[in-house]
A and B are shown apart, each in its own frame.
Chain A
Amino acid sequence: MGSFLAVWLGQTVNGLILGNIYALLAAGLALIFGVAGLVNFAHGSVYMAGSYAGWVAMSLLGWPLWAALPAAAAVGALVGLGIERFAVRPFRRSPHVSSLLATIGAGMILDDLAEIVFTPNPRSFPSAVPARRFSLGLASVGVLDLVILGASAACAASLFALLRYTKAGRALRAASQDSEAAQFMGVRVSRMNAAAFALASALGAIAGVLVGLYYNFIVPSSGLQAALKGFTACVLGGLSSVPASMAGGLLLGLGESYGVAIFGASARDLVAYALLLGALFLRPNGVFGGPPEAPREALTGSFLPRGRSLKLHPAAAAAAAVAAALLPLAIGSDYLLQVLAGAWIMALFALSLSLVGGMGGVISLGQAGLMAIGAYASALLSVGARWAFLPSFLASALLAAAIGTLLATPALRLKGHYVAIATLGIGEIVDQAILNWDSLTRGALGIAGIPAPRILGLDFSSVRGFYYLGLAALALGALAFAAVGASPLGRTIRAIREDEVAAASVGIDVRRYKALTFGLSALLAGAAGSLTAYLYTYISYETFGSGLSILGIAMAILGGFGNLWGAILGALVLSGLPELLRFAAEYRSLVYGLALIAVLRFRPRGILGGE
């Protein structure tokens, strides 16, 4: 019994430390979300930059911790100001999705810079505090643990005091609650934007140093996972207020820690995202969130800036399709065709995101999970049950639609960013289920030997075969997309996006239509997943990670969110870019990120313009 208590005491200390770090990340994200209305994807990279700033200060310059923390905070604040200046402010009058994509680009630039400056090799911190430990039975608490707890609690308390009791804090909160009203009252909202980014990034950087100290391990690529956990914490607690999102961080840290104790280390993310979905199901505005946030403008829809979206003339569209179909006859390079075949499959995936996002107004951050369902269905049907290609392809797409709709149903009553983060949770849960459900999916081993696709005795496993399979599937997906867009169904979906209350008041069953939108989108994603499985012949849970979801979103937004040809163009550009940028060697991601932001500067609503 004593040992049992000690374990739980130990897990609690552990959970509190983790929770405090999540809380710092969540507080920053909530601040930025409040003032700029934006999910900041570069926040994880700020956190990473902070940990490297701390490492330079302590390891190279030999500074003590008390000096390194403010130095890292200052570096973080500067980076945050840079992100605000170059990736957010230029897109103030554009739809939020533009700045979302720009922050993805900014994150890539920061990660690649860190990789170039500090090399990809992991780094460890020098010991900053005495290694003494205080025994608590079997468990014990170290000085370092107490320092981390103290520092993060102090940051949280000062942030709270700043927001609550100072004039600047009031101005920040005012700008966050209603930026126009705040402007009328003399608050310089644009300055508040910069202040929020600086403050949030300083907190993120401090979290980075504390995590670096706690684990004694930092790598340039650690940002994305941290950002995803930060979003989760933020939404778990409630986006509407900074204290609520910080409480969400603590809850997530404790939940993960207890979850690992009960279910084992592999279950960490499963527990985290199940906690998120469960909590949102019971409390759609976050566990600690107050009443629903004041209705914001739709994520993607109304009040769009001027600027026309380019629509392809039907004749031009037909010409493009014919050209794509004839291309393999003109091109001898299998390499080029392989890249294009991959691009067609990714375009189908981007279309699925454009449908649910551009048309439906929901940014799905876990779409790769739906792709994984389609891929695993095809793998199991073809390897295990020996189904032929066509039935397995169709069944996989339908299965992805069915499971996707089922999984998303609890999320459908959520609003705004809550849905986006819930979809992130769905994607992660699918990924974790694939990893942990050994008896069905073969777990970590993956599924090998997926046979070549054959239709009517013809083998499609050559590069030209896959080119045409991908193109045909994309053409079908595009036709479906266009048909939905032009139909009363599409109008209904858009009506819900523009104003859910108005749509409901004219008799539209909002949730049912949302489920239908999600199902259609999952159908396209599942089809893309099935083709990917046949193309790779081997898939594992690593094949469809969160990075793929974000790449799909980037494609859809870059081309023009909700625009059919935009999704295809976006997929072509972002599939081709990594290959074209090979000459840039280690600067590849950096140039890629710069290119994303540069394109958005000239076409803030995507290359072809969004809906």
Chain B
Amino acid sequence: MTERALAAAFAAFSLFAAAPLGIGAQKAQPVVVGVSGPLTGPVAQYGLAWKKGFDLALEEINARGGIRGRPLQYVFSDTQNDPKQTVAVAQKYVADPRIVLATGDFSSTSSMAASAIYQRAGLVQFGFNNSNPAFPSGGDCCWSNSPSDANEAPAHAAFVRDLGLRKVAVFQLNTDWGKTAGDLTVAALEKDGVAVAVREAYLPDERDFRAAILKAAAAGVDGFVFVSYANDAALLVQQIRAQGIRLPIVANGANATADFPRLAGEAAEGVYVAGDFAADDPRPEVRAFVSRWKAKYPGQDIDFFSVHAYDSMKLAAAVLGAAADSKGAIGRRAVRDAFAEVKDVPSVLFGKVSFNPATRKVDSFLGARLVISGGALRAWDGRR
């Protein structure tokens, strides 16, 4: 509640007082990241997941002295993932001299509508959730560490192949992300010798997959491949299993979230997920993250969007640290340049992460093969 009150206070403050405060010459003045994201409306659950990840990262960053002694903070403006509001919020952030970095929004439709405003003002829009291939084309202020579909898709397809599947049905979300990832996955599957007998693109608010499932079953496939979000995947597996179909299912990384088995229950058991990381991975970044998460959010499941938000805030801190001068002052131009400079920042999703300055995206990829068992995601033991 305190963060929300703080965010509200900041929002009100920046609304009424456009007076310049001077960019932190004093050590104690906080470094502020402006977050544009959904906290109400149809996709509010994702913005709330981001907050959990951000808060966890900030605790860790500030316990270690913040950015050159200055505490790192964020203000969160609720946009309901609505482009009418993201452009207004962008304008608010570029006018607020305390904000040295902006992140968000959720979908590319709402994020990219604001890109021109950030670009013109020279404030970096760190679109960590934006995998749309056109996002970085907004300009040299548009950077994204969204796991690249070009890396995820072949790993997903190889998992399908190694499970021994030869003829599959692909269910794909029909959004900019789903289309890009779906095309790449289908191409990789075919390259690996897996035939795609049925390909179904579905609308984001689709609830009923029964007709499409029956069609796939009639085509005689030996498995299902999802390029979906957890909400849809949960509906899909339940409806597949409810038809009495026991074929293997291989889902993409966005489903490596506890929401999936929670919503799908029994039907999620045995579903394979080509994820980004396994919570039981012995890497130090993962162990540190998981133990911090358990301490701060006892009893709550780890979800992909929180992990990614955590990772992104830590990456932002590394960038801001690199951009700060010897007195701790941070300029927006320096932040933009620092994105190209930071190298090998420890990351839960990527292991070590650096940007490719040419594409303003991240090339590296780790990947993890997971299976849902006992209602939780576990590392796959290599058996079918």
Contact = CB atoms under 8 A, between A and B. Distances in A.
Interface of A: 3-4, 6-7, 10-11, 14-15, 18, 112, 115, 119-122, 124, 127, 131, 133, 135, 138-140, 142, 144, 211, 215-217, 219, 221, 225, 257-258, 260-261, 264-266, 268-269, 332-335, 337-339, 342, 346, 435, 443-446, 448-449, 452, 461-463, 535-540, 542-543, 575, 578-579, 582-583, 585-586, 588-589
A140 B214 CA distance: 10
Given A448-B112, A543-B83, A121 B212 contact: no
Given A449-B134, A540-B109, A543-B83, A579 B203 contact: no
Interface of B: 4, 7-8, 11-12, 14-15, 18, 39-45, 48, 77-78, 80, 83-85, 87-88, 90-92, 94-95, 107-109, 112-113, 115-117, 120, 132-134, 137-138, 171, 174-176, 178-180, 200-203, 205-212, 214-215, 217-218, 231, 234-235, 238, 242-244, 259, 262-265
B interface secondary structure, majority: helix
Contact of B87 (A133, A216, A536): A536
Q: Which of the listed residues A3, A124, A332, A539 has the most CB atoms from chain B within 10 Å of its own CB? A: A124
B109 A334 contact: no
A582 B11 contact: yes
A335 B44 contact: no
B45 A138 contact: no
Given A334-B95, A335-B92, A538-B108, A133 B242 contact: yes
A260 B212 contact: yes
Contacts of B171: 265
Contact of A537 (B15, B113, B179, B203): B113
Contacts of A15: 211
Q: Which of the listed residues A119, A215, A337, A448 has the most CB atoms from chain B within 10 Å of its own CB? A: A448
A19 to B, nearest CB: 12
Given A120-B43, A124-B264, A538-B134, 10 more contacts: A120-B44, A215-B235, A264-B201, A265-B171, A334-B95, A338-B91, A536-B87, A542-B107, A582-B15, A583-B8
Contacts of B214: 6-7, 10-11, 14, 138-139, 261
B8 A582 contact: yes
Contact of A342 (B84, B137, B207): B84
A334 B121 CA distance: 11
A369 to B, nearest CB: 16
B12 A583 contact: yes
Contacts of B242: 131, 133, 142, 144
Nearest to A590: B40
A579 B88 contact: yes
A444 B208 CA distance: 20
B137 A121 contact: no
Given A112-B40, A334-B91, A265 B112 contact: no
A332 B235 contact: no
A133 B41 contact: no
12 contacts: A7-B214, A120-B44, A133-B243, A216-B265, A261-B215, A268-B203, A445-B180, A463-B117, A536-B87, A583-B11, A585-B8, A586-B40
A interface secondary structure, majority: helix
A140 B244 contact: yes
B206 A265 contact: yes
B57 to A, nearest CB: 21
Nearest to B85: A578
B115 A537 contact: yes
A518 B208 CA distance: 35
A3 B218 contact: yes
Nearest to B243: A140
Contact of B116 (A269, A333, A537, A579): A537
A124 B83 contact: no
Contact of B211 (A127, A260, A446, A536): A260
A575 B82 CA distance: 12
A265 B208 CA distance: 9
A261 B198 CA distance: 12
Contacts of A265: 171, 200-203, 206, 209, 211-212
B113 A538 contact: yes
A215 B208 contact: yes
Contacts of A589: 40-41
A221 B95 contact: no
B15 to A, nearest CB: 7
Contacts of B87: 338, 342, 535-536
Given A335-B88, A536-B112, A217 B234 contact: yes
Contacts of B18: 332-333, 335
Contacts of B215: 7, 261
B107 A537 contact: no
Nearest to A225: B205
A445 B78 contact: no
A411 to B, nearest CB: 24
Contacts of A446: 108-109, 112, 132, 134, 176
Nearest to A449: B137
Contacts of B243: 10, 133, 139-140
Contacts of A339: 88, 91
Contacts of A583: 8, 11-12
B203 A269 contact: yes
B218 A138 contact: yes
A525 B326 CA distance: 54
Nearest to B121: A334
B201 A121 contact: no
Contacts of B117: 338, 463
B320 to A, nearest CB: 23
A333 B88 CA distance: 11
Nearest to B42: A221
B262 A124 contact: yes
Give the 10 A-B residue pairs with the shortest CB-CB distance, closest first: A538-B112, A536-B113, A120-B44, A448-B134, A265-B202, A338-B91, A260-B211, A221-B42, A335-B92, A444-B179
Nearest to A588: B40
A517 to B, nearest CB: 27
Contacts of B264: 124
B115 to A, nearest CB: 7
Nearest to A13: B210
Given A217-B263, A535-B87, A538-B113, A120 B11 contact: no
A579 B14 CA distance: 12
A325 to B, nearest CB: 20
B211 A261 contact: yes
A462 B120 contact: yes
A270 to B, nearest CB: 10
Contacts of B42: 120, 219, 221
B176 A444 contact: yes
Contact of A338 (B80, B88, B138, B203): B88
Contacts of A452: 116
Contacts of A462: 120
B116 A461 contact: yes
A416 to B, nearest CB: 28
Contacts of A6: 214, 218
A456 B259 CA distance: 54
A141 to B, nearest CB: 10
A15 B208 CA distance: 10
A122 B107 CA distance: 19
Contacts of A332: 18
Q: Which of the listed residues A211, A261, A335 has the most CB atoms from chain B within 10 Å of its own CB? A: A335
A582 B44 contact: no
Contacts of A342: 84, 87-88
A249 to B, nearest CB: 15
Q: Which of the listed residues A112, A217, A443, A538 has the most CB atoms from chain B within 10 Å of its own CB? A: A538
Q: Which of the listed residues B4, B90, B132, B218 has the most CB atoms from chain A within 10 Å of its own CB? A: B218
A121 B259 contact: yes
B174 A461 contact: no
A121 B211 contact: no
Nearest to A126: B265
